[in-house]
Chain A
Amino acid sequence: DAKTTQPPSMDCAEGRAANLPCNHSTISGNEYVYWYRQIHSQGPQYIIHGLKNNETNEMASLIITEDRKSSTLILPHATLRDTAVYYCIVRVGSGGSNYKLTFGKGTLLTVNP
């Protein structure tokens, strides 16, 4: 699976959009970009994933560049409860039995009041 690079930490004001970047310059054509987050003392939680098109769900939006070498997770209106470590993961998306997720260090997002 391709390696990802994320900033170690970011701050965001409550109510503002949080934009979390991720670089994955070695991504292959069949690899998806996944985002998970981990709130302190809890298990990781799935947020969103995508292949090449931008994706949106009730939690966030995922913007993937045209060359797929980087992506941005957007939390449109961050709240204090969004303070967490956010992990960007790249892996083969479907088929077979390879469902491994390889977690890096992630980005600690702190939402300030």
Chain B
Amino acid sequence: DAGVIQSPRHEVTEMGQEVTLRCKPISGHNSLFWYRQTMMRGLELLIYFNNNVPIDDSGMPEDRFSAKMPNASFSTLKIQPSEPRDSAVYFCASLGVGYEQFFGPGTRLTVL
């Protein structure tokens, strides 16, 4: 298995633009997580899905952020409009029947 796949790996955009981050979980995993990592705040859980249904979105910073999981093999995290303070590394992780969350390589987002 290729593991969790995230795209793009790097994204540079200007303030006010829409940003869409993509994640493909490991096949057969039924839970998916979006995390954000910054130097100031560390690694934070934004939202997680179980069987494509959002279970806990309490970590989503504000209405500018939205996440979807239209099917078991794809999820998106959208920021609209983006702001410089959204600059961070965004990780996606998936979980199967065990206890281990498998993390993707991350998307490094820079908002100018």
Contacting residues of chain B (16-38) with chain A, CB-CB under 8 angstroms: 31, 33
- Stretch from B48-56, B60-68, B70-78, B80-88 forming part of the interface with A: B48-56
- Stretch from A4-12, A15-23, A101-109 forming part of the interface with B: A101-109
Residue of A nearest to B104 (CB): A43
Interchain nearest-CB distance for B57 vs A (Å): 12
Q: DSSP class of B's interface residues: helix, strand, loop or mixed?
A: strand
> Which of the four size classes fits the interface of chain B?
20 to 34
Cβ-based interface call for B111 (8 A):
no
In the bound complex, residues from chain B placing their C-beta under 8 Å from that of A49 are 99
Say yes or no: A94-B101 contact (C-beta < 8 A), given A99-B31, A99-B48, A103-B42. Answer: no
* In contact, A45 and B56 (Cβ under 8 angstroms): no
- Chain A interfacial positions (CB closer than 8 Å to B): 32, 34, 36, 38, 41-46, 49, 87, 93-94, 97, 99-105
**3 A-B pairs closest in CB distance:** A43-B103, A103-B43, A46-B100
